[in-house]
Amino acid sequence: MSKRPKVSVIGAGSVGGSVAQRLVEHNRYNVVLVDVVEGLPQGKALDLAQAGAVRGYEGRIWGTNGYEETTGSEAVVIVSGFPRKPGMSRDELLETNTHIVRSVVQQTVAHSPHAFLLMVTNPLDVMTYVAYRVSQFPRHRVLGMAGALDSARFRTFIAEELNVSVDNVYALVLGGHGDLIVPLVRYATVAGRPLREWLPEDRIQALVQRTRDAGAEILRLLKTGSAYVAPSAAICEMVDAIMADRKKIIPCSVYCDGEYGLKNVCIGLPVKLGSHGMETIVPMELTSDEQSALERSAAAVQTLCRQADRLLTT
């Protein structure tokens, strides 16, 4: 049997615990769960290890409060940071989570200098930028979970609206992970037919708006927590695409160097993921309206990236 890749998950809250569960249940990885709270990662890891006797997975999982046991990780999923609360925007988390992510990345890089860094902490695109800057890794090894989740939400709402299997729905969401996401309605299809052949424009725009508000909708309903099941599924899709060299095109937050006319910002674009991480940013022909929406989204993220730049120099 080939050696199982080690994947470390930094942050053992609801999202991190769910990520660890999905990874270990895949039965392909050894998983390290890390958190600063004494006993939290150890307890969750022990619980997951015991579930393996029932579920039939045999990969190791263990919890720790330090980084020594993450040494040699092939991929590191970073979830650490303060979560959003009802009424709070992702951007309000910027200062606190910039400092947290800087510390986490510094310690992660010291123990796993060849790892892929996969970001989940909000504000997602800015934290991906922070990780890119602090790690000094090449950009193909630093990616953020944004469009993977937003696209899944858009596909779900389309499938529910039409009462069809979500497997029949293809849709991409680009841009920043927030209020200025850019669902590419023109490219959305159901059973190969354009979405606009299935629904009138007012219903499509209602689904677009619900996709923009999807995280806040869950926040309002839960009252004491935020989404964690779908985010964990989205980040694990990215881990699997890289570790299994699937060459799968997934919208991810990535550092731009001229692609789509964008530079010096991390933003959600269609990315082919494989054994080298980001293998290419896939070019797509955009209308002037789509390009303008993407540029507006990137400009909002870029403003926050410049704030993060200032925080990283203090």
The rounded average pLDDT for each run of 10 residues, N- to C-terminus, in the chain (314 residues) is: 86 97 96 98 98 95 97 97 70 87 98 98 96 98 96 98 98 94 97 98 97 93 91 98 98 97 97 98 97 97 96 89
Q: Give the pLDDT of residue 138.
A: 98
d(C-alpha 265, C-alpha 254), whole Å = 8
136 exposure class (CB count in 10 Å sphere: 0-12, 13-18, 19+): exposed
Residues with a catalytic annotation lie at: 177
Given the candidates 3.30.70.20, 3.40.50.720, 3.30.56.10, 3.40.630.30, the CATH classification of the domain at 6-144 is 3.40.50.720
Q: Give the pLDDT of residue 1.
A: 38
Q: Give the pLDDT of residue 88.
A: 64
User: Sign of the C-alpha dihedral, residues 74, 91, 41, 251?
Assistant: negative
Q: What are the two backbone dihedrals, phi and then psi, of residue 175, each rounded to the nearest 5 degrees? A: 85, -175
Query: Which H or E run includes 7?
Result: strand 6-10
Q: Give the pLDDT of residue 178.
A: 86
Cα 84 to Cα 49, 176, 228, 271: the distances in Å are 29, 16, 12, 27
State the CB neighbour count (10 A cutoff) for residue 56: 9
Q: Give the pLDDT of residue 224.
A: 85
SS3 (DSSP) at 270: strand
Token duo for residue 127: 């934290």
Q: Give the pLDDT of residue 225.
A: 83
Please provide the DSSP assignment of 108-136 as one string: HHHH-TTPEEEE-SSSHHHHHHHHHHHH-
**Please, are residues 223 and 185 in contact by the beta-carbon 8 Å criterion?**
no
Residue 65: which region, alpha, beta or left (left: phi > 0; alpha: psi -120 to 50)? Answer: alpha
Which CATH code fits 147-312?
Answer: 3.90.110.10
Query: b vs e for 297-308, b when ≥16 Cβ sit within 10 Å of the residue's Cβ?
Result: bbebbbebbeeb
d(C-alpha 137, C-alpha 115), whole Å = 9
Domain boundary assignment for the chain: 6-144, 147-312
Q: Give the pLDDT of residue 147.
A: 93
Token duo for residue 129: 């930028």
User: Sign of the C-alpha dihedral, residues 241, 247, 248, 253?
Assistant: positive
Q: Give the pLDDT of residue 92.
A: 76
Q: Give the pLDDT of residue 85.
A: 67
Q: Give the pLDDT of residue 84.
A: 66
Residue 267 DSSP class: E
* Residue of 286, 291, 282, 283 lying closest to 250 (CA atoms): 282
Residue 83 DSSP class: P
Q: Give the pLDDT of residue 46.
A: 98
d(C-alpha 67, C-alpha 264), whole Å = 30
